[in-house]
Amino acid sequence: MSTHDILHRLSETLASRRHADPEKSYTAKLFSEGPDSILKKIGEECAELIMAGKDGKRLNIVRESTDVVYHILVLLAFYGLSIEDVSQEMRRREGISGIDEKASRSAGK
């Protein structure tokens, strides 16, 4: 099973939890609490990832990265988006310098 398959399946599972019981599903609980709660969790998980990166412990970096990705997928699902939306944007950016891509977004404002 490819990484894309796993992320796509997880994205679908998260979307299916949109109306699940918050008492029985952590994802449903996050959805019920709204975007501020989801964003707070992303911030917490990013801070934990930063600390893992500073410690340099590979397993902790992988675990914290997984938590960040999961919570980002929850945010996407909250807004009716999925990993496919992110994949499309990544395909659009492929082969474009990060500097050029960032400049094109600034120019469009």
pLDDT tens column, 56-69: 999 999 999 999 99
The arithmetic mean of pLDDT across residues 80-90, rounded, is: 93
User: In a 3-state reduction of DSSP, which class is residue 24?
Assistant: coil
Q: Determine the Cα–Cα distance for residues 60 and 47; give it in Å rounded to an integer.
A: 13
What integer best gives the mean pLDDT of the chain?
A: 92
| C-alpha to C-alpha distances, 67 to 8, 53, 92, 108, nearest whole angstrom | 16, 14, 26, 33
Q: What pLDDT score does 64 carry?
A: 98
Q: What pLDDT score does 108 carry?
A: 63
The arithmetic mean of pLDDT across residues 6-35, rounded, is: 94
Q: Determine the Cα–Cα distance for residues 65 and 59; give it in Å rounded to an integer.
A: 10
Q: What pLDDT score does 102 carry?
A: 80
| pLDDT tens digits for range 69-81 | 999 999 999 999 9
